[in-house]
Amino acid sequence: MVRSAHGTSAVESFVIVAVATILITRAYLEIMDYPQVGNGTLHIAHALWGGAGMMAALVIGWLFLGFGARVVAVVLGGIGFGLFLDEVGKFVTRDNDYFYGPAAEIMYVTVVLVLVATRLLRDAAEPTPRECLANAAAIAADGVAGGLPAHRREKGLELLGRAREAGADPDVVAGLEVLLRRSAPVSAGAAGLRYHLRRRLPRWVRSPRWVPVLAWLMVISAIVGVIGGAVALATGGVDVATDDLEVTVERMTVSGGILWITACLTVALGLPAVIALHRTDALWPLRWLRVAALIYALLGALVDFAQIGFAALTNLALGLVTLAAISHRLAVQTAEGSARTRSVAVRL
């Protein structure tokens, strides 16, 4: 099986859309006092709409070629999966309990498994020459189908260069290079929207000096959560009260355990990455921090929302600001690295 060069980002986008759909759905139902679609006899659960969204994503992926069709499939599939997963409490209880407590934990475990499996599959080995060539061919096919924006053309040429260096068939490489260079130029589409949104970010978020600050705040917050969870796990709860101080650590619950695991994952990924930020120009610290921020912001929000309701939006907002700052810096450094690589190639 040949891995897609854009598969990981597609899966992460799918998960982000799904989690956002769950949070928006829960907020809407709370605000609107849980309305129902149907009549006195019928109730059309939104899991059905979720199934329809996932079906539409599959059908679009089968029927149409091109990058745009895949973007639509990712968005529709993410919305559908979010709507479906939001009603998991109804599927695991005899009385169809939408408010079943462990539903948030089931959502959490599902999303974590998807993200972890995706990362393991991507990081299992470096892309092989065959994968580089196949992905360049897929980008060239997209160009034939509907043209290529500049960043996609550059990605295809970069993959071709790696395949050429690894000894790929020169005739195949030359033919794909002709297709890539002659594909009609088109607007950046979703990538252009991301670029526009990055430019609309406040300057303090775009500033590189805020990345380590926000990252350290996230890691320190997670460390506090790890310590508190370890104390609760070891002691079964602590309640100390004096005249000047009162400390209460509740017993570890299932939800608390999930949040503790989230904090442990955040520390395991974020701490070595934030330490390495000032010691290397490599991209791996930012990539690790982005995954840590994704886990901290979105996955923790699922359990927080189930436990403390709308107060979870505060933690979610803080996590999303950190994620935005790290993602922006990663995009800037990736672009700078690609520019340096092209400059070296031209000189050679």
Structure confidence at residue 21 (pLDDT): 92
321 in Cβ contact with 214 (< 8 Å): yes
The set of residues, in sequence order, having a beta carbon less than 8 Å from that of 328 and lying 6+ positions away, is 198, 201, 205, 206
Structure confidence at residue 39 (pLDDT): 63
What does the CA dihedral 116, 121, 127, 130 come to, rounded to 10 degrees?
Answer: -150
Flag residues of the chain having pLDDT under 70. Answer: 38-41, 188-207, 236-252, 255, 298-299, 301-318, 335-348
Structure confidence at residue 343 (pLDDT): 56
For residue 6, the SS3 value is: coil
pLDDT, one tens digit per residue, over 62-86 is: 999 888 889 999 999 999 999 999 9
Structure confidence at residue 79 (pLDDT): 96
Q: Whole-angstrom Cα distance, residue 20 to residue 11?
A: 14
Structure confidence at residue 51 (pLDDT): 94
pLDDT, one tens digit per residue, over 90-105 is: 888 888 888 887 777 7
Structure confidence at residue 98 (pLDDT): 85
Structure confidence at residue 301 (pLDDT): 67
CA 160 to centroid of chain Cα atoms = 27
The full set of domain ranges for the chain reads 7-123, 126-183, 203-336
